Chains A and B, each alone.
Chain A
Amino acid sequence: MARVYLDNNATTPLLPEVLEAMLPYFGGQFGNASSIHSHGQATRAAVERAREAVARLIGARASEIVFTSGGTESDNLAIFGIVGGKGGHGSPVGGQRNAGQWSPVGGRRGADGSQLTVHSQSHVITANIEHHAVLNACRHLEELGCEVSYLPVDPWGLVDPSDVRRALRDSTQLISVMMANNETGVVQAVSEIGAIAREAGVLFHTDAVQAAGKIPINVDEIGCDLLTLSAHKLHGPQGVGALYVRKGTELEAQMYGGRHERSRRAGTENVAGIVGFGAAAEAAVAGFSREDDLKIGELRDRLERGLMGIEACRVNGGTQRGGGQNPHPKIAQDAILRVGHPRDSRPERVPNTTNICFEGIDGEALVIALDLKGLAVSTGAACSSGAIEASHVLLAMGLSAEQARGSVRFSLGKMNSAEDVEFALAVVPETVGRLRELSPVWVGGQRSEVRGQR
Chain B
Amino acid sequence: MSELVAETIAVAMSGGVDSSTVAAMLRAEGHAVIGLTMQLWNQRRLAGHSGMPESVSGRCCSLDDVYDARRVAETIGIPYYVVNHEERFERDVVRPFVEEYLAGRTPIPCSLCNNHLKFDQLLVVARSIGAERIATGHYAQVSFDETAGRWWLKRPVDRSKDQTYFLFGLTQEQLSRTLFPLGGMTKPEVRELARTYNLVIAEKPDSQEICFVPGGDYKKFLDAYLEEQGAEARLDVGGEMVTASGEVIGEHSGVHNFTVGQRKGLGVATGSPLYVIQINNETRQVVVGPDEELYTRSLRARRVNLISVASIDAPMRVAVKIRHKHAPAGAVMEMAGPDEVLVTFDEAQRAVTPGQAAVFYEGDVVVGGGWIS
Instruction: Determine the residue in chain B with the shortest Cβ distance to A434.
Output: B128
Complex interface: chain A residues within 8 A of B81 (CB): 368, 371, 386
Contact A364 B83 (CB under 8 A): yes
Of the listed residues A364, A371, A387, the one surrounded by the most CB atoms of chain B closer than 10 A to its CB is A387
Q: State whether A362 touches B61 (Cβ < 8 A).
A: no
Q: Is the CB of A385 within 8 A of B39?
A: yes
Residues of chain A within 8 A (CB-CB) of B124 are 362, 365, 438-440
Q: A385-B39, A386-B66 are in contact. Are A435 and B84 (CB under 8 A)?
A: no
Complex Cα–Cα for A438 and B123 (A):
10
Known: A371-B79, A372-B79, A372-B130. A385 touches B66 (CB 8 A): yes
Contacts of B83 in A (CB 8 A): 364-365, 368, 387-388
B39-68 Cβ-contact flags toward A at 8 Å (1 or 0): 100000000000000000000010100100
Query: Complex formed: what's the CA distance from A434 to B130 in Å?
Result: 9
Asked whether A389 is an interface residue with its Cβ less than 8 Å from the other chain, the reply is yes
Residue from A364, A387, A438 within 8 A of B127 (CB atoms)? A438
Contacting pair B128 A362 (CB below 8 A): yes
Q: In chain A, residues 362-418, which have Cβ atoms closer than 8 Å to a Cβ of chain B?
A: 362, 364-366, 368-369, 371-372, 383-389, 401
- When distances are taken between beta carbons in the complex, the residues of chain B under 8 Å from A384 are 63
- Note all chain B residues with C-beta closer than 8 A to A362: 124-125, 128
Q: Are B128 and A365 in contact (CB under 8 A)?
A: yes
Q: Which of B11-30 contact A (CB under 8 A)?
A: none
Asked if A385 and B61 sit within 8 Å, CB to CB, the answer is yes
The chain B residue with its CB closest to the CB of A364 is: B83
A369 and B128 within 8 A (CB): yes
Considering only residues 306-329 of chain B, those with a C-beta below 8 Å from chain A are: none
What separation, in Å, do the CA atoms of A366 and B81 have in the docked complex? 12
Enumerate B267-309 residues with CB–CB distance to A below 8 Å: none
CA A388 – CA B86 in complex, angstroms? Answer: 10
Give Cα A389–Cα B39 distance, bound, in whole angstroms.
10
Chain A min CB distance to B170 (Å): 16
Contact B34 A438 (CB under 8 A): no
Interface residue B82 (Cβ < 8 Å from any Cβ of A): yes
Check B129 for interface membership: any CB of A closer than 8 A.
Answer: yes
Residues of A contacting B128 with CB < 8 Å? Answer: 362, 365-366, 368-369, 434-435, 438
What distance in Å separates the Cβ of B6 from its nearest Cβ neighbour in chain A?
16
Q: Tell me whether A364 and B79 are in contact in the complex, defined as CB-CB below 8 angstroms, given that A384-B63, A387-B39 are known contacts.
A: no
Q: CB-nearest residue of chain B relative to A371?
A: B79
Please give me the residue from chain B that is nearest to A435 by CB atom: B128
Task: For the complex, give the distance between the alpha carbons of A369 and B66 in Å.
Answer: 20
Inter-chain CA distance A384–B65, complex, in Å, is: 12
Inter-subunit contact B63/A385 (CB<8 Å): yes
B interface majority secondary structure = mixed
Partner of B82, one of A365, A371, A386, A440: A386
Chain B residues with Cβ below 8 Å from A386 are: 66, 70, 81-82
Beta-carbon contact of A368 and B129 below 8 Å: yes
The interface residues of chain B lying within 8 Å CB-to-CB of A368 are: 81, 83, 125, 128-129
Find residues 327-374 in chain A having any chain B CB closer than 8 Å to their own CB. 362, 364-366, 368-369, 371-372
Q: How far is the CB of A310 from chain B (nearest CB, A)?
A: 16
- Shortest A153–chain B CB gap in Å is 24
Chain B residues closer than 8 Å to A438, beta-carbon distance: 124, 127-128
Task: Closest A residue to B37 by CB, please name it.
Answer: A385
**Are A387 and B82 in contact, with the CB atoms below 8 A?**
yes
Residues of A within 8 A of B129 (CB): 365, 368-369, 372
Contact with A along B118-132 (1 / 0, CB 8 A): 000000110111100
Whole-angstrom distance between the Cβ of B87 and the nearest chain A Cβ? 8
Instruction: Find the B residue at minimum CB distance from A366.
Output: B128
Q: B84 touching A388 by the CB < 8 A rule?
A: yes
Q: A368-B125, A369-B130 are in contact. Are A387 and B63 (CB under 8 A)?
A: no
Considering only residues 66-82 of chain B, those with a C-beta below 8 Å from chain A are 66, 70, 79, 81-82
Q: Is the CB of B34 within 8 A of A372?
A: yes
Rounded to whole angstroms, the CA-CA distance of A201 and B200 in the bound complex is: 59
Q: Which residue of A lies closest to B8 (CB)?
A: A372
In the complex the two chains form, what is the Cα distance from A435 to B39 in whole Å?
20
How long is the Cα–Cα vector from A385 to B83 in the complex, in angstroms?
9
Is the Cβ of A383 less than 8 Å from the Cβ of B39? yes
User: Bound state CA distance, A371 and B70, in angstroms?
Assistant: 16
The chain A residue sitting closest to B125, CB to CB, is: A365
A257–B83 Cα distance when bound, in Å, is 42
Find the B residue at minimum CB distance from A370: B129
A435 to chain B, nearest CB (A): 5
How many Å from the CB of A357 to the closest CB on chain B? 17
- In angstroms, Cα B125 to Cα A434, docked, is 11
Please name all residues of chain B whose beta carbon is closer than 8 Å to the beta carbon of A385 when the two chains form the complex: 37, 39, 61, 63, 66, 82
Q: What B residues does A387 contact at CB under 8 A?
A: 39, 82-84, 86
Q: Which residue of B lies closest to A439 (CB)?
A: B124
The complex places the Cα of A434 from the Cα of B87 at a distance, in Å, of 23
**A389–B125 touching, CB < 8 Å:** no
CA distance A365 to B83 in the complex (A): 8
- Nearest-CB distance from A290 to chain B (Å)? 38
Interchain CA distance A435-B128 in the complex, whole Å: 5
Q: Which residue of A lies closest to B61 (CB)?
A: A385
Task: Report the separation of the CA atoms of residues A302 and B63 in the bound assembly, to the nearest whole angstrom.
Answer: 40
Closest to A369 in B: B129
User: Least Cβ distance of A280 to chain B in Å?
Assistant: 30
B106 to chain A, nearest CB (A): 26
In the complex, per-residue mask of A84-104: 1 if CB is within 8 Å of any chain B CB, else 0:
000000000000000000000
- In angstroms, Cα B63 to Cα A388, docked, is 14
Tell me, in angstroms, the Cα distance from A344 to B81 when the chains sit together: 43
Give bound CA distance, A365 to B79, whole Å.
Answer: 14
Across-interface contacts of B39 in A (CB, < 8 A): 383, 385, 387
CB distance from A362 to the nearest CB of B (A): 7
**Measured between C-beta atoms, what is the minimum distance from A139 to chain B in Å?**
15
0/1 interface trace, chain B 90-124, chain A, CB 8 Å (1 if under): 00000000000000000000000000000000001
**Cα distance, A384 to B87, chains bound together (Å):** 17
Most buried by B among A362, A386, A439: A386
Complex Cα–Cα for A435 and B130 (A): 10
- When distances are taken between beta carbons in the complex, the residues of chain B under 8 Å from A383 are 39, 84
Q: How far is the CB of B37 from chain A (nearest CB, A)?
A: 8
**5 nearest A-B pairs in the assembled complex, by CB-CB distance:** A387-B39, A387-B84, A386-B82, A365-B128, A387-B82
Further pairs besides A364-B83, A385-B37: 13, Cβ < 8 Å: A362-B128, A364-B125, A365-B83, A365-B124, A365-B125, A365-B128, A366-B128, A369-B130, A383-B39, A386-B82, A389-B84, A438-B124, A440-B124
20 of the cross-chain contacts (CB-CB < 8 Å) are: A362-B125, A364-B83, A365-B83, A365-B124, A365-B128, A366-B128, A368-B81, A369-B128, A369-B129, A384-B63, A385-B61, A386-B70, A387-B39, A387-B82, A387-B83, A388-B83, A389-B84, A401-B87, A438-B124, A438-B127
